[in-house]
A and B are shown apart, each in its own frame.
Chain A
Amino acid sequence: MSRPDDRLGGRRAAELGMALGAAGFGGVVVLGALQHDTGWGPTGPGAGYFPLRIGLLLIGVAAILALLQLRAAAGRFAEPGALRRVARLLAPTLVFGIAIAPLGTYVPMALFLLWMARVEARAGWPVALALALGTPAAFFLLFETWLGVPLAKGPLEEALGIY
Protein backbone atom coordinates (compact mmCIF):
# COMPACT_ATOMS: atom_id res chain seq x y z
CA MET A 1 0.00 0.00 0.00
CA SER A 2 2.98 2.29 0.33
CA ARG A 3 4.10 2.49 -3.32
CA PRO A 4 2.07 4.90 -5.44
CA ASP A 5 1.85 2.27 -8.15
CA ASP A 6 0.15 -0.05 -5.72
CA ARG A 7 -2.55 2.47 -4.92
CA LEU A 8 -3.36 3.23 -8.54
CA GLY A 9 -3.04 -0.17 -10.16
CA GLY A 10 -2.89 -2.29 -7.01
CA ARG A 11 -4.10 -5.84 -7.31
CA ARG A 12 -5.62 -5.82 -3.83
CA ALA A 13 -7.62 -2.65 -4.51
CA ALA A 14 -8.84 -4.10 -7.80
CA GLU A 15 -9.84 -7.41 -6.20
CA LEU A 16 -11.65 -5.55 -3.44
CA GLY A 17 -13.39 -3.31 -5.97
CA MET A 18 -14.51 -6.29 -8.07
CA ALA A 19 -15.87 -8.15 -5.04
CA LEU A 20 -17.69 -5.08 -3.79
CA GLY A 21 -19.03 -4.45 -7.29
CA ALA A 22 -20.40 -7.99 -7.40
CA ALA A 23 -21.98 -7.50 -3.99
CA GLY A 24 -23.48 -4.22 -5.18
CA PHE A 25 -24.95 -5.94 -8.23
CA GLY A 26 -26.36 -8.56 -5.86
CA GLY A 27 -27.99 -5.70 -3.96
CA VAL A 28 -29.62 -4.40 -7.15
CA VAL A 29 -30.92 -7.91 -7.90
CA VAL A 30 -32.39 -8.15 -4.39
CA LEU A 31 -34.06 -4.73 -4.77
CA GLY A 32 -35.53 -5.78 -8.12
CA ALA A 33 -36.72 -9.07 -6.67
CA LEU A 34 -38.46 -7.35 -3.78
CA GLN A 35 -40.81 -5.64 -6.26
CA HIS A 36 -42.31 -9.08 -6.90
CA ASP A 37 -43.76 -11.93 -4.94
CA THR A 38 -40.77 -13.56 -3.23
CA GLY A 39 -42.72 -16.37 -1.62
CA TRP A 40 -45.33 -18.87 -2.77
CA GLY A 41 -47.77 -17.25 -5.21
CA PRO A 42 -50.79 -18.52 -7.15
CA THR A 43 -48.50 -20.19 -9.72
CA GLY A 44 -45.99 -21.70 -7.33
CA PRO A 45 -42.83 -19.88 -6.26
CA GLY A 46 -43.33 -16.19 -7.13
CA ALA A 47 -41.44 -14.12 -9.67
CA GLY A 48 -39.10 -12.77 -7.00
CA TYR A 49 -38.39 -16.13 -5.36
CA PHE A 50 -35.37 -17.12 -7.43
CA PRO A 51 -33.78 -13.65 -7.94
CA LEU A 52 -34.02 -12.85 -4.23
CA ARG A 53 -32.12 -15.99 -3.25
CA ILE A 54 -29.59 -15.61 -6.08
CA GLY A 55 -29.00 -11.97 -5.09
CA LEU A 56 -28.53 -12.80 -1.41
CA LEU A 57 -26.14 -15.66 -2.25
CA LEU A 58 -24.17 -13.32 -4.51
CA ILE A 59 -23.85 -10.73 -1.75
CA GLY A 60 -22.73 -13.45 0.65
CA VAL A 61 -20.10 -15.03 -1.61
CA ALA A 62 -18.77 -11.62 -2.72
CA ALA A 63 -18.48 -10.50 0.91
CA ILE A 64 -16.38 -13.58 1.77
CA LEU A 65 -14.16 -12.84 -1.25
CA ALA A 66 -13.74 -9.23 -0.11
CA LEU A 67 -12.81 -10.37 3.43
CA LEU A 68 -10.24 -12.83 2.05
CA GLN A 69 -8.61 -9.93 0.18
CA LEU A 70 -7.81 -8.17 3.42
CA ARG A 71 -5.17 -10.80 4.19
CA ALA A 72 -4.04 -11.37 0.60
CA ALA A 73 -0.61 -10.30 -0.60
CA ALA A 74 -0.33 -6.97 -2.39
CA GLY A 75 0.68 -7.01 -6.02
CA ARG A 76 0.34 -5.18 -9.26
CA PHE A 77 -2.91 -5.13 -11.21
CA ALA A 78 -1.35 -3.90 -14.42
CA GLU A 79 2.09 -3.02 -15.71
CA PRO A 80 2.86 0.71 -16.00
CA GLY A 81 1.40 2.13 -19.20
CA ALA A 82 -0.88 -0.86 -19.76
CA LEU A 83 -4.04 0.89 -18.63
CA ARG A 84 -3.22 3.78 -20.94
CA ARG A 85 -3.00 1.40 -23.91
CA VAL A 86 -6.32 -0.15 -22.94
CA ALA A 87 -7.95 3.28 -22.68
CA ARG A 88 -6.63 4.30 -26.10
CA LEU A 89 -8.42 1.31 -27.61
CA LEU A 90 -11.51 1.50 -25.41
CA ALA A 91 -12.29 5.22 -25.77
CA PRO A 92 -12.57 5.29 -29.60
CA THR A 93 -14.53 2.02 -29.44
CA LEU A 94 -17.00 3.60 -27.05
CA VAL A 95 -17.45 6.62 -29.33
CA PHE A 96 -17.95 4.24 -32.28
CA GLY A 97 -20.49 2.21 -30.30
CA ILE A 98 -22.49 5.26 -29.23
CA ALA A 99 -22.52 6.59 -32.81
CA ILE A 100 -23.95 3.41 -34.37
CA ALA A 101 -27.58 4.00 -33.38
CA PRO A 102 -27.91 7.61 -34.67
CA LEU A 103 -25.36 7.56 -37.54
CA GLY A 104 -25.54 3.98 -38.79
CA THR A 105 -22.81 1.35 -38.89
CA TYR A 106 -20.84 2.41 -41.94
CA VAL A 107 -19.79 6.02 -41.38
CA PRO A 108 -18.69 5.61 -37.74
CA MET A 109 -16.91 2.38 -38.69
CA ALA A 110 -14.91 4.10 -41.44
CA LEU A 111 -13.98 6.99 -39.13
CA PHE A 112 -13.09 4.60 -36.27
CA LEU A 113 -10.85 2.50 -38.50
CA LEU A 114 -9.22 5.59 -40.00
CA TRP A 115 -8.50 7.00 -36.54
CA MET A 116 -7.12 3.71 -35.20
CA ALA A 117 -4.96 3.10 -38.26
CA ARG A 118 -3.59 6.64 -38.63
CA VAL A 119 -3.30 7.86 -35.05
CA GLU A 120 -2.82 4.68 -33.01
CA ALA A 121 -1.08 2.30 -35.42
CA ARG A 122 0.66 5.12 -37.39
CA ALA A 123 -0.05 3.37 -40.66
CA GLY A 124 0.49 5.15 -43.96
CA TRP A 125 -2.41 6.79 -45.77
CA PRO A 126 -2.83 4.03 -48.40
CA VAL A 127 -3.13 1.28 -45.74
CA ALA A 128 -5.36 3.39 -43.50
CA LEU A 129 -7.70 4.37 -46.29
CA ALA A 130 -7.88 0.84 -47.65
CA LEU A 131 -8.85 -0.43 -44.18
CA ALA A 132 -11.29 2.39 -43.46
CA LEU A 133 -13.12 2.22 -46.78
CA GLY A 134 -12.65 -1.43 -47.68
CA THR A 135 -14.03 -2.86 -44.44
CA PRO A 136 -17.43 -1.10 -44.53
CA ALA A 137 -17.73 -1.96 -48.23
CA ALA A 138 -16.97 -5.61 -47.55
CA PHE A 139 -19.46 -5.61 -44.67
CA PHE A 140 -22.12 -4.16 -46.93
CA LEU A 141 -21.60 -6.79 -49.59
CA LEU A 142 -21.38 -9.66 -47.13
CA PHE A 143 -24.24 -8.84 -44.80
CA GLU A 144 -26.72 -6.68 -46.67
CA THR A 145 -26.60 -8.19 -50.12
CA TRP A 146 -25.37 -11.72 -49.63
CA LEU A 147 -26.77 -12.77 -46.26
CA GLY A 148 -29.68 -10.31 -46.24
CA VAL A 149 -29.03 -9.01 -42.72
CA PRO A 150 -29.67 -5.27 -42.44
CA LEU A 151 -27.05 -3.29 -40.50
CA ALA A 152 -27.69 0.07 -38.85
CA LYS A 153 -28.39 2.93 -41.25
CA GLY A 154 -27.93 6.64 -40.66
CA PRO A 155 -28.61 9.95 -42.45
CA LEU A 156 -25.97 9.31 -45.15
CA GLU A 157 -27.48 5.97 -46.18
CA GLU A 158 -30.94 7.57 -46.09
CA ALA A 159 -29.76 10.36 -48.40
CA LEU A 160 -28.24 7.85 -50.80
CA GLY A 161 -31.45 5.82 -50.81
CA ILE A 162 -29.76 2.71 -49.45
CA TYR A 163 -32.11 1.14 -47.02
Chain B
Amino acid sequence: MTRIASPHASSRFVPSRRGLLLGAGAALLARPALAQSWQPARPVEFIVAAGPGGGTDQFARIVQSIVQKHNLMRTPIIVSNKGGGAGTEAFVYGRGAAGDPHKVVFGTNNVWLMPLVTRVGYGLADLRPVASMAADEFILWTYTDAPYRTAKDLVEAARAQNGTFRMGGSQARDTDHILTKQIERATGVTFTYVPFRSGGEVAIQLAGKHVEANTNNPAENVAQWRAGRVRPLCVFNPQRLTLTEKVHDGVGWSDIPTSTEAGIGPADFRMPRTVWLPARTTDAQAAFWTELLSRVRETPEWKAWLQAGSQGDLWQTGAELASFIREDEATNRAHFREYGWLVEQG
Protein backbone atom coordinates (compact mmCIF):
# COMPACT_ATOMS: atom_id res chain seq x y z
CA MET B 1 0.00 0.00 0.00
CA THR B 2 2.98 2.28 0.32
CA ARG B 3 3.23 2.26 -3.45
CA ILE B 4 -0.34 3.51 -3.75
CA ALA B 5 0.24 6.16 -1.15
CA SER B 6 3.39 7.75 -2.48
CA PRO B 7 1.88 9.86 -5.28
CA HIS B 8 -0.54 11.29 -2.77
CA ALA B 9 2.34 12.10 -0.49
CA SER B 10 4.06 14.29 -2.97
CA SER B 11 0.93 16.00 -4.22
CA ARG B 12 -0.41 16.71 -0.76
CA PHE B 13 2.55 18.00 1.12
CA VAL B 14 4.97 19.55 -1.29
CA PRO B 15 2.80 22.47 -2.45
CA SER B 16 2.14 23.71 1.06
CA ARG B 17 5.84 23.48 1.83
CA ARG B 18 6.82 25.36 -1.27
CA GLY B 19 4.16 27.95 -0.54
CA LEU B 20 5.78 28.54 2.79
CA LEU B 21 9.29 28.73 1.45
CA LEU B 22 8.51 31.09 -1.41
CA GLY B 23 6.65 33.45 0.84
CA ALA B 24 2.95 33.25 1.28
CA GLY B 25 1.94 36.10 -1.05
CA ALA B 26 1.70 34.60 -4.52
CA ALA B 27 0.21 31.33 -3.38
CA LEU B 28 -2.43 32.98 -1.24
CA LEU B 29 -3.62 35.43 -3.87
CA ALA B 30 -4.43 32.49 -6.07
CA ARG B 31 -6.95 31.17 -3.55
CA PRO B 32 -10.47 32.11 -4.51
CA ALA B 33 -12.47 30.97 -1.50
CA LEU B 34 -11.66 33.56 1.14
CA ALA B 35 -9.72 36.75 0.71
CA GLN B 36 -8.27 37.29 4.15
CA SER B 37 -5.18 38.79 5.65
CA TRP B 38 -4.32 35.46 7.23
CA GLN B 39 -4.69 31.93 5.85
CA PRO B 40 -3.71 28.59 7.36
CA ALA B 41 -0.37 27.47 5.95
CA ARG B 42 -0.33 23.95 7.35
CA PRO B 43 -2.84 21.16 7.98
CA VAL B 44 -5.32 22.22 10.63
CA GLU B 45 -6.21 20.14 13.65
CA PHE B 46 -9.78 20.19 14.99
CA ILE B 47 -9.61 19.11 18.63
CA VAL B 48 -12.86 17.66 19.93
CA ALA B 49 -13.46 17.99 23.67
CA ALA B 50 -15.34 14.68 23.71
CA GLY B 51 -14.91 11.09 22.67
CA PRO B 52 -16.07 9.85 19.26
CA GLY B 53 -19.82 9.72 18.69
CA GLY B 54 -21.40 12.34 20.92
CA GLY B 55 -22.90 15.70 19.99
CA THR B 56 -19.63 17.63 20.25
CA ASP B 57 -17.85 15.09 18.04
CA GLN B 58 -20.60 15.36 15.43
CA PHE B 59 -20.34 19.15 15.65
CA ALA B 60 -16.63 19.18 14.76
CA ARG B 61 -16.96 16.50 12.10
CA ILE B 62 -19.90 18.18 10.39
CA VAL B 63 -17.93 21.44 10.22
CA GLN B 64 -14.95 19.51 8.81
CA SER B 65 -17.03 17.76 6.17
CA ILE B 66 -18.75 21.01 5.12
CA VAL B 67 -15.43 22.86 4.81
CA GLN B 68 -14.04 20.06 2.67
CA LYS B 69 -17.16 19.56 0.56
CA HIS B 70 -17.55 23.25 -0.27
CA ASN B 71 -13.80 23.70 -0.60
CA LEU B 72 -13.76 26.60 1.87
CA MET B 73 -10.12 26.02 2.76
CA ARG B 74 -7.17 24.46 0.93
CA THR B 75 -5.24 22.86 3.76
CA PRO B 76 -6.42 19.48 5.03
CA ILE B 77 -8.22 19.11 8.36
CA ILE B 78 -7.45 16.40 10.89
CA VAL B 79 -10.04 15.78 13.61
CA SER B 80 -8.72 14.37 16.87
CA ASN B 81 -10.75 13.42 19.91
CA LYS B 82 -9.40 14.44 23.30
CA GLY B 83 -12.31 13.65 25.57
CA GLY B 84 -10.40 12.77 28.74
CA GLY B 85 -11.51 14.46 31.96
CA ALA B 86 -14.92 15.43 30.50
CA GLY B 87 -13.19 17.35 27.72
CA THR B 88 -10.60 19.15 29.82
CA GLU B 89 -7.90 17.16 28.03
CA ALA B 90 -8.67 19.11 24.85
CA PHE B 91 -8.50 22.45 26.62
CA VAL B 92 -5.21 21.57 28.31
CA TYR B 93 -3.93 20.65 24.86
CA GLY B 94 -5.20 24.02 23.57
CA ARG B 95 -3.24 25.73 26.32
CA GLY B 96 -0.08 23.93 25.20
CA ALA B 97 -0.67 25.18 21.64
CA ALA B 98 -0.70 28.86 22.63
CA GLY B 99 -0.19 31.11 19.62
CA ASP B 100 -0.87 28.35 17.06
CA PRO B 101 -3.84 29.28 14.84
CA HIS B 102 -3.84 25.80 13.25
CA LYS B 103 -5.40 24.24 16.34
CA VAL B 104 -9.15 24.77 16.69
CA VAL B 105 -10.96 23.46 19.78
CA PHE B 106 -14.61 22.38 19.68
CA GLY B 107 -16.53 22.31 22.95
CA THR B 108 -19.64 23.46 24.76
CA ASN B 109 -20.06 25.63 27.83
CA ASN B 110 -17.84 23.09 29.63
CA VAL B 111 -14.87 25.30 28.67
CA TRP B 112 -15.82 27.82 31.35
CA LEU B 113 -17.82 25.56 33.68
CA MET B 114 -15.26 22.76 34.25
CA PRO B 115 -12.64 25.03 35.89
CA LEU B 116 -15.28 26.02 38.45
CA VAL B 117 -16.00 22.49 39.66
CA THR B 118 -12.78 20.58 39.31
CA ARG B 119 -9.02 21.06 39.31
CA VAL B 120 -8.02 21.42 35.66
CA GLY B 121 -4.74 22.22 33.95
CA TYR B 122 -5.97 25.35 32.14
CA GLY B 123 -7.78 28.64 32.73
CA LEU B 124 -10.37 30.47 30.66
CA ALA B 125 -7.62 32.93 29.64
CA ASP B 126 -5.74 30.10 27.87
CA LEU B 127 -8.36 29.94 25.10
CA ARG B 128 -9.80 32.57 22.80
CA PRO B 129 -13.52 32.27 22.00
CA VAL B 130 -14.21 32.38 18.24
CA ALA B 131 -17.89 31.62 17.85
CA SER B 132 -20.90 29.96 19.32
CA MET B 133 -22.67 28.17 16.48
CA ALA B 134 -25.66 26.30 17.89
CA ALA B 135 -27.56 25.73 21.09
CA ASP B 136 -28.74 22.31 22.14
CA GLU B 137 -32.18 22.18 23.74
CA PHE B 138 -33.02 20.40 26.99
CA ILE B 139 -36.30 18.57 27.48
CA LEU B 140 -37.78 16.95 30.58
CA TRP B 141 -38.74 13.37 29.73
CA THR B 142 -40.43 10.51 31.52
CA TYR B 143 -41.29 6.95 30.46
CA THR B 144 -44.51 6.49 28.55
CA ASP B 145 -46.73 4.75 31.10
CA ALA B 146 -45.51 6.88 34.01
CA PRO B 147 -48.37 8.28 36.12
CA TYR B 148 -47.39 11.93 35.50
CA ARG B 149 -49.12 13.67 32.60
CA THR B 150 -47.40 17.06 32.97
CA ALA B 151 -44.14 18.46 34.29
CA LYS B 152 -46.08 19.86 37.24
CA ASP B 153 -47.40 16.34 38.12
CA LEU B 154 -43.86 15.02 38.02
CA VAL B 155 -42.53 17.73 40.30
CA GLU B 156 -45.38 17.16 42.79
CA ALA B 157 -44.74 13.40 42.73
CA ALA B 158 -41.06 14.09 43.41
CA ARG B 159 -42.01 16.35 46.30
CA ALA B 160 -44.12 13.55 47.79
CA GLN B 161 -41.24 11.07 47.43
CA ASN B 162 -39.06 13.31 49.55
CA GLY B 163 -35.75 13.11 47.71
CA THR B 164 -35.84 9.52 46.42
CA PHE B 165 -37.22 10.44 42.97
CA ARG B 166 -34.62 9.21 40.46
CA MET B 167 -33.46 11.68 37.81
CA GLY B 168 -30.96 10.30 35.29
CA GLY B 169 -28.34 12.42 33.54
CA SER B 170 -24.97 12.20 31.86
CA GLN B 171 -21.93 13.04 34.02
CA ALA B 172 -21.90 14.74 37.39
CA ARG B 173 -21.69 18.53 37.68
CA ASP B 174 -22.23 18.76 33.93
CA THR B 175 -25.20 20.32 32.08
CA ASP B 176 -27.82 17.70 33.03
CA HIS B 177 -26.83 17.96 36.69
CA ILE B 178 -26.81 21.76 36.57
CA LEU B 179 -30.30 21.77 35.03
CA THR B 180 -31.55 19.30 37.66
CA LYS B 181 -30.22 21.63 40.35
CA GLN B 182 -31.93 24.60 38.69
CA ILE B 183 -35.25 22.74 38.64
CA GLU B 184 -34.73 22.02 42.33
CA ARG B 185 -34.03 25.73 42.97
CA ALA B 186 -37.11 26.83 41.05
CA THR B 187 -39.54 24.30 42.52
CA GLY B 188 -38.10 23.53 45.94
CA VAL B 189 -38.08 19.72 45.52
CA THR B 190 -35.10 17.39 45.78
CA PHE B 191 -34.17 14.65 43.29
CA THR B 192 -31.74 11.77 43.51
CA TYR B 193 -29.52 12.56 40.54
CA VAL B 194 -28.04 9.37 39.04
CA PRO B 195 -25.13 10.17 36.69
CA PHE B 196 -24.45 7.91 33.69
CA ARG B 197 -21.69 8.04 31.10
CA SER B 198 -23.63 9.43 28.14
CA GLY B 199 -27.03 10.68 27.08
CA GLY B 200 -27.60 7.47 25.13
CA GLU B 201 -27.22 5.38 28.27
CA VAL B 202 -29.63 7.60 30.17
CA ALA B 203 -32.17 7.25 27.37
CA ILE B 204 -32.08 3.44 27.67
CA GLN B 205 -32.29 3.56 31.46
CA LEU B 206 -35.41 5.73 31.22
CA ALA B 207 -36.96 3.50 28.56
CA GLY B 208 -36.28 0.53 30.86
CA LYS B 209 -37.90 2.45 33.76
CA HIS B 210 -34.78 2.23 35.90
CA VAL B 211 -34.89 6.00 36.39
CA GLU B 212 -38.09 8.05 36.45
CA ALA B 213 -37.08 11.07 34.40
CA ASN B 214 -34.20 12.59 32.47
CA THR B 215 -33.31 15.92 30.87
CA ASN B 216 -31.86 14.62 27.62
CA ASN B 217 -31.25 16.65 24.46
CA PRO B 218 -33.75 15.96 21.67
CA ALA B 219 -31.26 13.92 19.62
CA GLU B 220 -30.46 11.65 22.56
CA ASN B 221 -34.07 10.62 23.22
CA VAL B 222 -35.82 10.91 19.87
CA ALA B 223 -35.39 7.23 18.93
CA GLN B 224 -36.94 6.09 22.21
CA TRP B 225 -39.74 8.62 21.78
CA ARG B 226 -40.43 7.42 18.27
CA ALA B 227 -40.62 3.86 19.65
CA GLY B 228 -43.17 5.05 22.18
CA ARG B 229 -41.08 4.23 25.25
CA VAL B 230 -40.58 7.77 26.56
CA ARG B 231 -42.48 11.04 26.21
CA PRO B 232 -41.54 14.71 26.61
CA LEU B 233 -43.06 16.90 29.33
CA CYS B 234 -41.56 20.34 28.70
CA VAL B 235 -38.73 22.12 26.94
CA PHE B 236 -36.48 24.59 28.78
CA ASN B 237 -36.77 27.37 26.22
CA PRO B 238 -38.92 30.54 26.36
CA GLN B 239 -40.30 29.62 22.90
CA ARG B 240 -41.67 26.33 21.68
CA LEU B 241 -39.57 24.33 19.20
CA THR B 242 -40.31 25.15 15.59
CA LEU B 243 -40.06 21.70 14.02
CA THR B 244 -43.63 20.59 13.26
CA GLU B 245 -42.85 16.94 12.45
CA LYS B 246 -45.06 14.51 14.43
CA VAL B 247 -42.85 11.99 16.21
CA HIS B 248 -45.17 9.57 18.00
CA ASP B 249 -48.90 9.21 18.46
CA GLY B 250 -49.70 12.53 16.80
CA VAL B 251 -47.40 14.51 19.09
CA GLY B 252 -44.43 16.40 17.64
CA TRP B 253 -41.66 18.76 18.65
CA SER B 254 -43.79 21.91 18.44
CA ASP B 255 -46.44 20.36 20.73
CA ILE B 256 -44.04 20.20 23.71
CA PRO B 257 -44.99 22.94 26.20
CA THR B 258 -42.29 25.32 27.38
CA SER B 259 -41.21 25.08 30.99
CA THR B 260 -42.96 28.39 31.72
CA GLU B 261 -46.24 27.07 30.26
CA ALA B 262 -45.78 23.90 32.31
CA GLY B 263 -45.34 25.99 35.42
CA ILE B 264 -41.86 24.90 36.43
CA GLY B 265 -38.46 26.54 36.11
CA PRO B 266 -35.93 27.39 34.83
CA ALA B 267 -37.44 29.24 31.88
CA ASP B 268 -34.37 29.10 29.66
CA PHE B 269 -31.64 26.45 29.70
CA ARG B 270 -29.64 25.68 26.61
CA MET B 271 -26.12 24.49 25.89
CA PRO B 272 -24.09 26.54 23.41
CA ARG B 273 -21.76 24.71 21.02
CA THR B 274 -18.56 26.74 20.91
CA VAL B 275 -15.37 27.02 18.88
CA TRP B 276 -12.06 28.24 20.33
CA LEU B 277 -8.51 29.13 19.32
CA PRO B 278 -5.52 28.95 21.63
CA ALA B 279 -4.57 32.16 23.46
CA ARG B 280 -2.01 34.56 21.93
CA THR B 281 -3.45 34.13 18.41
CA THR B 282 -3.92 37.38 16.49
CA ASP B 283 -7.18 39.19 15.63
CA ALA B 284 -6.59 38.48 11.94
CA GLN B 285 -6.33 34.78 12.64
CA ALA B 286 -9.51 34.80 14.73
CA ALA B 287 -11.25 36.79 11.96
CA PHE B 288 -10.33 34.10 9.42
CA TRP B 289 -12.02 31.41 11.50
CA THR B 290 -15.06 33.58 12.26
CA GLU B 291 -15.53 34.21 8.55
CA LEU B 292 -15.05 30.53 7.69
CA LEU B 293 -17.56 29.40 10.31
CA SER B 294 -20.11 31.98 9.17
CA ARG B 295 -19.89 30.44 5.69
CA VAL B 296 -20.32 26.96 7.15
CA ARG B 297 -23.43 28.22 8.88
CA GLU B 298 -25.06 29.22 5.59
CA THR B 299 -24.76 25.79 3.96
CA PRO B 300 -27.79 23.51 3.63
CA GLU B 301 -25.81 20.67 5.27
CA TRP B 302 -25.37 22.72 8.44
CA LYS B 303 -29.07 23.61 8.55
CA ALA B 304 -29.99 19.98 7.99
CA TRP B 305 -27.75 18.93 10.87
CA LEU B 306 -29.30 21.48 13.22
CA GLN B 307 -32.75 20.28 12.29
CA ALA B 308 -31.91 16.58 12.57
CA GLY B 309 -30.96 17.13 16.21
CA SER B 310 -33.65 19.79 16.89
CA GLN B 311 -30.88 22.20 17.81
CA GLY B 312 -31.38 25.93 17.90
CA ASP B 313 -29.34 28.39 15.85
CA LEU B 314 -27.20 30.51 18.15
CA TRP B 315 -24.63 32.64 16.37
CA GLN B 316 -22.44 34.75 18.64
CA THR B 317 -18.95 36.04 18.00
CA GLY B 318 -16.43 38.59 19.22
CA ALA B 319 -17.31 40.91 22.08
CA GLU B 320 -20.90 39.68 22.27
CA LEU B 321 -19.74 36.12 22.84
CA ALA B 322 -17.07 37.20 25.33
CA SER B 323 -19.56 39.11 27.45
CA PHE B 324 -22.07 36.20 27.27
CA ILE B 325 -19.37 33.86 28.58
CA ARG B 326 -18.45 36.27 31.39
CA GLU B 327 -22.07 36.59 32.53
CA ASP B 328 -22.81 32.89 32.28
CA GLU B 329 -19.66 32.07 34.22
CA ALA B 330 -20.59 34.54 36.99
CA THR B 331 -24.17 33.21 37.28
CA ASN B 332 -23.02 29.62 37.45
CA ARG B 333 -20.27 30.47 39.91
CA ALA B 334 -22.90 31.92 42.25
CA HIS B 335 -25.13 28.86 41.87
CA PHE B 336 -22.27 26.41 42.31
CA ARG B 337 -21.19 28.18 45.50
CA GLU B 338 -24.69 27.54 46.83
CA TYR B 339 -24.46 23.81 45.96
CA GLY B 340 -20.95 23.53 47.42
CA TRP B 341 -19.56 22.44 44.03
CA LEU B 342 -16.81 25.06 43.63
CA VAL B 343 -13.38 23.54 43.50
CA GLU B 344 -12.02 25.99 46.08
CA GLN B 345 -14.73 24.87 48.48
CA GLY B 346 -12.99 21.50 48.57
Contact B5 A142 (CB under 8 A): yes
Chain A residues within 8 Å of B, Cβ to Cβ? 43-44, 138, 140-142, 144-146, 148, 150, 160-163
Interface flags, B6-41, vs A, CB<8A=1, else 0? 101100110011001100000000000000000000
- Known pairs A43-B172, A163-B42, A163-B43; A146 contacts B17 (CB<8 A): no
Residues of chain B at interface, number, CB under 8 A: 22
B308 within 8 A of A: no
For residue A65, give the distance in angstroms from its CB to the closest CB of chain B: 33
Q: How far is the CB of A155 from chain B (nearest CB, A)?
A: 16
Interface membership of B78, Cβ < 8 A: yes
Q: List 25 A-B contacts (CB under 8 A).
A: A43-B172, A43-B193, A43-B195, A44-B194, A138-B2, A142-B1, A142-B2, A142-B5, A145-B5, A145-B8, A145-B13, A146-B1, A146-B4, A146-B5, A148-B76, A148-B78, A150-B43, A150-B78, A160-B17, A161-B16, A161-B17, A161-B20, A161-B21, A163-B16, A163-B42
How far is B16's CA from A162's CA once the two chains are assembled, in angstroms?
A: 9
Residue of B nearest to A143 (CB): B5
Sample of 11 further A-B pairs with CB below 8 A, known A141-B6, A162-B17: A141-B2, A144-B9, A145-B5, A146-B2, A146-B4, A148-B76, A148-B78, A150-B45, A150-B78, A163-B42, A163-B43
Smallest beta-carbon distance A137→chain B, Å? 9
Please indicate which of the listed interface residues A140, A142, A144, A145 has the most CB atoms of chain B within 10 Å of its own CB: A145
- Separation in Å of the A47 CB from the closest CB of chain B? 9
Return the 7 tightest CB-CB contacts between A and B, nearest first.
A161-B17, A146-B5, A145-B9, A163-B42, A141-B2, A141-B5, A145-B5
In the bound complex, residues from chain A placing their C-beta under 8 Å from that of B13 are 145, 162
- What chain A residues lie within 8 Å of B193 (beta carbons)? 43
Shortest distance in angstroms between B26's beta carbon and chain A's nearest beta carbon? 16
With a CB–CB cut-off of 8 A, which chain A residues contact B172? 43
Give every chain B residue within 8 A of A142 (Cβ-Cβ): 1-2, 5
Give Cα A162–Cα B76 distance, bound, in whole angstroms: 13
- Give the chain B neighbours of A162 by CB distance below 8 A: 13, 17
Mask, B137-180, CB within 8 Å of A = 1, is: 00000000000000000000000000000000000100000000
Shortest Cβ distance from A160 into B: residue: B17
